Structure 1
Amino acid sequence: MESGHHSEGGDPACWLGLICPACGRVREDRTTSQCENCGEELDEAGAGGAA
């Protein structure tokens, strides 16, 4: 381990739009308008359409 060297890592914050608001799973297929896990209808931005 190098002292004084910090590497940044982790997943990008832009994945937030891929999370299904109904079940919390990350969508794998960005081209669908429905969550492949629970079937929730999603709008174009990736957020759930139901209020």
Structure 2
Amino acid sequence: MNMFEALVGTLRAAKKRKVVRYDGELLLQGVHDNVEITMLPSTPAAASSVAAP
């Protein structure tokens, strides 16, 4: 179950940073199995906001 919780958190963070787009705020297994998740083109500003390891 923790894997799904981590995936939800990752998708929400990616949507907030405008890295992905999908309808709704939260995706639930079963209910949203056919929701399309779209990767958005990256911008230099978005790339620079990611911390280097």
TM-score strictly above 0.5: no
Q: Which has the larger radius of gyration?
A: 1
TM-score by length of 1: 0.23
Q: Per residue, is there more helix in 1 or in 2?
A: 2
TM-score under structure 2 length normalisation: 0.23
